[in-house]
Structure formats: structure tokens, C-alpha cells
Structure 1
Amino acid sequence: MLKHFEMFADYNRWANGLLYAAAATLNDADYRRDTGAFFGSLHATLNHLLSADRIWMKRFTGTGTAPTTLDSILYDDLPSLTEARRTEDRRIVDWIGGLEETALSGTFSYTPITAPTEITQPLAPALAHVFNHQTHHRGQCHTILTTLGKPSLGLDLVYFLRSEGTRWM
């Protein structure tokens, strides 16, 4: 199971790279345009993804900074957000790469932002959630990009496995 999560961390890094490269082709007005997505704009959605990852990584590791809201705008410009995304993706890859298989069956405790009640749960399903959450919102970002007239992105896991991710096959 650990290799599975290591692959998803690597895939997540790769897919985010493609998404951010596509975002960089937008002018600032389109990047910030409210297209009706859950967080409105591509700018807000990308900030949400980074916010959520920082929240989860703080829960998992007890280290790092984490915003106190899910709609935090951590970075107001795309270049700074891109650099922070790369750093967070590397942090995720490195952290999962340092886990022992037995850690996946262990539990951790945290207090959600949305409800002040401590929750204890197994690590493995929470990790699955983190990667599923990324995929969910990358899909929203993809829709925003195509709504703005940009080409569709090939973000499927199989495309990663056929390119940078061949080591996972």
C-alpha cells in the first residue's frame, strides 16, 4: 500500500505541474475570473488546494503552517503560488517516501476547521482522501481552463505512468 501512495504523491506533483503550466498561459483577468466553480476562479481554487494540503500535512506531521479557513488566499500572484505548490508537492513526496508501511495502519488525531471536535482516524484512508481531493479540484480547474478557451489537459494517471511515472509500472 505504501508504494501505491508514493505513486500518487509523484502523480500529484506531475499533474499539478501541468495544471500550473496551463494556468500560466492565462491573462490575469481570466486567471481571476469567477467562472461559477465552487471557489469561483482558478486563482481561488488553486489557493484552496494548497490550503487543504497544508492543513492535512500539518495534521499528519505536526509541522508546517496551515491556514484557518478553506478559502484562504495564501498567495495573490501565480508565480508565488506556483513556487509554494512545488514546495508543498515535494514535501508530500518526501514525507510519504519516509513512511514505514506500518504507519498506514496507524491512527492520528486532529480537530477539523469546520467542527471543533477531535477526530481520530486511520492514516491510510485520510491519505486516500487527500489525493482524491486534489483530483476533484484539479477537475474543477480543468473545467475552468476549458471554459476560458484553453485546451483540455491530459491529467489521467495512465498518462503519467506512460511518461514520467514509468518507474511505477
Structure 2
Amino acid sequence: MTPTLIIVPGLNDSGPQHWQTLWEHKYGAARVHQDDPDHPVPALWSQRLQEVVDATPGPLVLVGHSCGVLNIVHWAGTHAVPARVLGALLVAPTDAEQADMLDEVRPYAPVPLQPLPFPALVVASENDPYSAFTRAEQMAAAWEAELVTAGEAGHINVLSGHGEWEEGEVLLAECINAWK
């Protein structure tokens, strides 16, 4: 059985040309819609993720970007994760502890650094303005997740030239095949 994707956007909800939104439509994915996507509140954002997980039947794969990655790891540390969550693709994790981080992301500091209860793949850029690559390496190790470099790919969003992000789709397909 093919798992359902749950798209977990970050700050500002990943706009219409963002690869997360394009994947949502392409794959018929469920999506976590926050009441206030511009101002994360970890407890509220995690609760909304839980609601979407509860409402989506069958096996699931979470697909987070940026602050959405922090939402996933916060949720995994504060909720009972059902076994039907097969894994998570965690793209461009934001470092809420970074000195010049946006104030809106600061509520996620300190970044949760406990092992995840499911397999995960972290995809990080070597020139992401929201997280140093060495920090992404530390987060992936703490989460017991595999790490893949995207090279110098910025924040892996529309502004860095990643619309459909075909390379990400290849990684997603590899993950789904490994996690089934």
C-alpha cells in the first residue's frame, strides 16, 4: 500500500509555487494548515499536526520543510506517534538557536534533539541562511536520521530556485521504498 504524504509547511505556509504545495497537488497529500502560519507556537502547531495525523488513514510519510521540520520533531517528542507513521523527509531544517534567526522561529529554541521514533532523512544545504550545514549534521545525528547534502541549494525553496524539486522527489521515492 502506498503511504499518504502529510505536508508540514514551515513559516508562512509554503506558497503556491513551493515544491511542498506542488507535491501536495501532485500526490494528493494531506497538508497541515496552521491557524497562524506566520507566528509558530510549538504546542499549537504540534496539536494541528496531530489532528491531521489522526484524520488521515493508513500508512503515512511526513514531509517537512524549514520550521515544519521543527514542528515534526517537537510533535514526535510530545505526542504518542502511531506506528503507521513510516518515516519523515526533513528538508532544510531551521536552526531556531542561530544567532541571527528570525524572531518568529525563536519559540522552537532549544531545538529538540532526541532520537525520532521513526526513520528520517534530513536534506540540508551547504549554504542555507537558516542553518549552518554543521548544525544540520548535529541535528540529523541527534534525531538518528540519515543526512544528505543538497550542495549549495540555499533554503531549498522557491527563492533558491526549487519549484517542483525533482531531486527531492527521487529522494522521497527512495525513502518510501525503504520504509515500506
TM-score where L is the length of structure 2:
0.24
Which structure is higher in RCO with an 8 Å CA cutoff and minimum separation 6? 1
* Greater helix share, structure number: 1
TM-score (norm 1): 0.25
| Structure holding more strand per residue | 2
